[in-house]
Amino acid sequence: METTLHFVTLWVEARTRFSNQLKTLHSEDLSKHLGESPNSVGFLIRHIGDVELLFSKNVFGNSEVHVTAKTVISGHDSGEWTDLASLLAYVEESYSVLHTTLVAQPDSAWSEVITTKEFGTKTKAEALGRIVSHTAYHAGQIALINKYGKGI
């Protein structure tokens, strides 16, 4: 399990780019957009949670996960993501589920090949890189929107 623990440690550290921002958010920040950007802070928070749960289920094989990935299904910000407490609870749950799922991976799992319609064929190690970069990418967007964006 040494390899798994290294990968989990990497993911947990990378996710702090997102999770540290959550500590200072206010409800009024959730509706902020940057210029003509279609996505609000609230939408991006929900999206990160949706994708973490999807990865737990579809990539890392946690069959106990039941997720309705509303942001992925809609493909755009509907303006509904304005309840800070609900969003924080959702991404706390998605973190916990993905963490539990990752920790349960045997060391041999990281070289297993999986195929998804979203990003094709990858090893589980490469897929972990995908979720790390996905979260960091959107965490950067959240930081910029929160700093320079305006509420609707």
63 has a pLDDT exceeding 90? yes
Q: Give helix 124-148 / helix 2-22 axis angle, nearest 10°.
A: 10
Mean predicted confidence (pLDDT) in 94-103: 98
State both tokens at 36: 């003509």
Q: Which CATH number fits domain 2-12+30-148: 1.10.240.10, 2.40.50.100, 1.20.120.450, 3.40.50.300?
A: 1.20.120.450
Helix (H) or strand (E) run with residue 6 in it: helix 2-22
Distance CA 106, CA 25 (A): 36
Mean predicted confidence (pLDDT) in 85-98: 98
What pLDDT, in 10s, does the model give residues 20-29? 999 999 999 9
Give the per-residue pLDDT at 118.
81
What confidence category does residue 51 fall into, taking pLDDT thresholds of 50, 70 and 90? very high
Distance CA 72, CA 22 (A): 21
Helix (H) or strand (E) run with residue 68 in it: none
116 has a pLDDT exceeding 90? no
What are the residue boundaries of the structural domains of the chain, listed by start? 2-12+30-148
End-to-end CA distance of the chain: 48
